[in-house]
Every structure is written in C-alpha cells, then in structure tokens.
Amino acid sequence: RQEVSGHIRLQGRSIAGQSEYHLDLNLTRREQEVLRLVAEGHTDREVAEILVISPRTVNRHLSNMYIKLDVPGRAGAVAFAIRQGLV
C-alpha cells in the first residue's frame, strides 16, 4: 500500500502480467453511491429519490465527500470520479 494523500491510497497487484489498481478513497458506501449518481448527472432531489433519503442527507454526503476528496464542490468531485474511472 502506498499512501498517495491523506485520503487516497493506491493499491496495485499483478494479474497475468498486468497491473490492476484501485483506489481506497475512505468514502462510505453511501457516499460512493451518491458520487456515482451525481456523476451520472442526477440532481440532489433525484439522488434522494433513487436512494430513498432526503435531499438534505444527499447534501450532507456531498459536503463530506468534498472534504475527503479535497475538492471545492460538485464539479470537482465529478471530475475526480471521472479521472479515477469511478464512473
């Protein structure tokens, strides 16, 4: 395990001569679900309806993600998710 930042660990292993990497973002499963749906273009209200939670809870998950990912907002989180292949 190699520490890349305070919140992201990059892990790699070799499978049949190829390297496979994945990120441990310290995001909860629910935060990951919210990030995926937001990156797919859903509004907070739509995410709330899909996950059967309140829009305020969606907003709280987003705020927590912004801190963990060290991004200023929604666009930064979506860009991060795309760059990392999470969506």
CATH code of the domain covering residue 38 = 1.10.10.10
Q: Let me know if residue 18 belongs to a domain.
A: no
| Residue 21 belongs to a domain | no
Q: Domain count of the chain?
A: 1
Nearest of 7, 8, 39, 33 to residue 21 by alpha carbon? 8
Predicted TM-score (pTM) of this structure:
0.70
Asked if the structure places residue 22 within a domain, the reply is no
Name residue, tokens 């963990």.
Answer: 68
Tell me the pLDDT band of 86, cut-offs 50, 70 and 90: confident
Instruction: Report d(CA 78, CA 74) in Å as an integer.
Output: 6
Residue range 22-59, pLDDT digits in tens = 455 689 999 999 999 999 999 999 999 999 999 999 99
Domain that holds residue 64: 27-83
